[in-house]
A and B are shown apart, each in its own frame.
Chain A
Amino acid sequence: MSSPSVLFDAPGPRARRLSLILSVVAAVVILAGAGWLVVILATPRESGGVTLPGMFDASRWEALGLSRFWQIVGAGVAATLSAAAVAAVGALALGVVISLLRSSSIAAVRIPTAWVVEFLRGMPVLLMMLFILLIASTGAFWAVVIALVLYNGTLIGEALRAGLVALPRGQREAALSLGMRDFQSKRLVEFPQAFRQMLPIIVAQLVVLLKDTSLGYIVGYHELIRTTMNQLSSALGNRYLFTLFVVALVIYLAINLTLSWFARWLARRTAGGARPRRRGAATTSPDQAILEMTTAPEPHERNER
């Protein structure tokens, strides 16, 4: 269903009034909840006989005026982004390789790849980071990057494979009948189309990758959370904990929301482009597409039509 409006009548005056009243009531309840939170946060608290200022008191926020503060936060952002960038490049490359190996016509290549993919996909990224850290002793940066490359690379590989499988069979047949070899057809005809088709999913996966760099906090990589929460809060004192949390949250949301919107924009552009969707249910968001993609239909199912 494209819009929920089918579910109920075009509201008449009474229903419209009711809906408006409910809407206002719900808005008031939500705002009251938010207001209650703000009041709780703003109330000064007693601790060991000392009254501490509320969370919105100026004394809890004055460090934001220091340029040194923003330098350190900037270093954290740079560390997060550099790990994400290196891992993204690696994951894309690995994804391409995996999708080609998994759709290979040689069973001895295809089946072991499937096992490796299954293994990497079922394991927590955090465990992979620990694995690499302890066994290869690479240092935190490379542990984070390699684990993210392996994990997201397999997922991107699966997305690309689903894209290859979803192509109309005629594409490959046409390429082969022009005299292209198997690999040429993949490289020159099928792959570029699959990549374009799956681009929104890939970008959404890159958002996941960026979010997951924060796991570096646990294995000791000095990314955004570790620099703000540990380094700055021990330097500035505990009273900035809430402030630092807000700063980290805002930075993450700004980066991730921008990327998510970009992914959605891409999805809309690709969906409106060359080929109409063959399945009735248009995927609404790239994240959802990721969920669906992990149980992507097998070839026989797609080729039914």
Chain B
Amino acid sequence: MDQYLGLWPTFGQGFVMTLLLLVSSGVLALVLGTLIAAMRISPVASLRVFAATWVEIARNTPLTLVFFFCAFVLPFLGLRWAFLPLAVVALTYYTSPFVAEALRSGINGVPVGQAEAARSVGLGFGQTVALVVLPQAFRMTIPPLINVFIALTKNTSVAGGFFVIELFAATRGLANENGNMVIPILLTTAALYLVITVPLGLFAGRLENRLAVRR
């Protein structure tokens, strides 16, 4: 028991690092994803093409490969950063298309009539989007966005394979050092991940029922 309790500081550090990765790359991905989504619906054709290409490529690249690029290829090309910011870059890049698609599907979910009505009372593009479409799109977007962040939580574990000592890497280290208690260690880690993902999932479900626009 003492041995098990002695592991907790390491779990704690790993958990904090996972949260740090989750929050920082979550916020950055939200910003980047919103930009991409805005480009995707903009009247400027070349921006639309750029955003579509970005989404298509980023979504079809395995996360491990993105991490490999950030952790090995970028330093090889001469970028000398610590591994933590590089991991944040990788997670941000990988998550951005999913955020963009969630936002876009929210915008697509607003019935055309809403935009038509806004247009016909004389609102311009900016006003239509900012005052009529986005407020409605936003509420439909929150549950899918939360799902994106749940996926992001799980994806932070990949950083553990690339020199960032977060929960997964901490677990692997602990399991190697304490061969006699592998199962409790792994179950603890699973519980720590579930502590983040399950409440988020329940929250998303609750919100969806509350926010759903009944038409």
Spell out A's residues near B (CB within 8 Å): 1-2, 4, 6-9, 11, 19, 22-24, 26-27, 30, 40-41, 45, 55, 118-119, 121-127, 130-131, 134-135, 207, 211-215, 217-218, 225, 229, 238, 241-242, 245, 248-249, 252-253, 256-257, 260, 280-281, 283-285, 287-288, 291-292, 294-295, 297, 301
Contacts and interface: CB of A to CB of B under 8 A. Distances in A.
A304 B176 CA distance: 54
A252 B62 contact: yes
B3 interface: no
B47 A26 contact: yes
Contacts of A245: 65, 68-69, 72-73
A288 B160 contact: no
B104 A284 contact: yes
A294 B109 CA distance: 17
B102 A127 contact: no
A45 B76 CA distance: 11
Interface stretch (B5-13, B80-88, B150-158): B150-158
B46 A253 contact: no
Contacts of A253: 57, 60-61
A238 B76 contact: yes
A157 to B, nearest CB: 16
A295 B204 contact: yes
B63 A211 contact: yes
B77 A249 contact: no
A292 B158 CA distance: 24
Contact of A291 (B43, B60, B101, B190): B101
Contacts of B89: none
Contacts of B69: 245
A134 B182 contact: yes
B105 A281 contact: yes
B138 interface: no
Given A30-B46, A241-B76, A127 B62 contact: no
B151 to A, nearest CB: 9
Given A1-B110, A6-B112, A123-B190, A118 B198 contact: yes
Contact of B60 (A26, A119, A256, A295): A256
In this complex, which of B109, B124, B156 has the most chain A Cβ atoms within 10 angstroms of its Cβ? B109
A215 B68 CA distance: 11
B60 A225 contact: no
A241 B72 CA distance: 8
A231 to B, nearest CB: 14
A63 to B, nearest CB: 16
A291 B205 contact: no
Contact of B116 (A6, A211, A256): A6
A79 B143 CA distance: 37
Residues of A contacting B: mostly: helix
B139 interface: no
Nearest to A29: B46
B133 interface: yes
Given A6-B119, A126-B160, A257-B56, A248 B205 contact: no
Interface string B189-215: 110011001100100110011001001
A15 B209 CA distance: 42
A121 B150 CA distance: 10
Contacts of A126: 157-158, 160-161, 168
A295 B204 CA distance: 7
Interface in B107-137: 107-112, 115-116, 119, 124-125, 128-129, 133
Given A130-B172, A238-B76, A292-B105, A124 B68 contact: no
A194 to B, nearest CB: 21
Among the interface residues A11, A124, A131, A257, which one has the most CB atoms of the partner chain B within 10 A? A124
Nearest to A27: B46
17 contacts: A2-B108, A6-B116, A8-B43, A40-B77, A119-B190, A123-B193, A127-B168, A211-B60, A212-B62, A225-B62, A245-B72, A248-B65, A252-B60, A281-B108, A287-B101, A288-B102, A294-B147
B74 to A, nearest CB: 10
B160 to A, nearest CB: 7
A259 to B, nearest CB: 9
A135 B46 contact: no
Given A121-B201, A127-B168, A242-B76, 15 more contacts: A1-B111, A1-B115, A8-B43, A8-B124, A30-B46, A40-B77, A122-B154, A123-B190, A134-B175, A215-B158, A217-B64, A217-B161, A252-B65, A288-B101, A291-B101
Contacts of B208: 295, 297
Interface string B22-60: 000000000000000000010111110010000011011
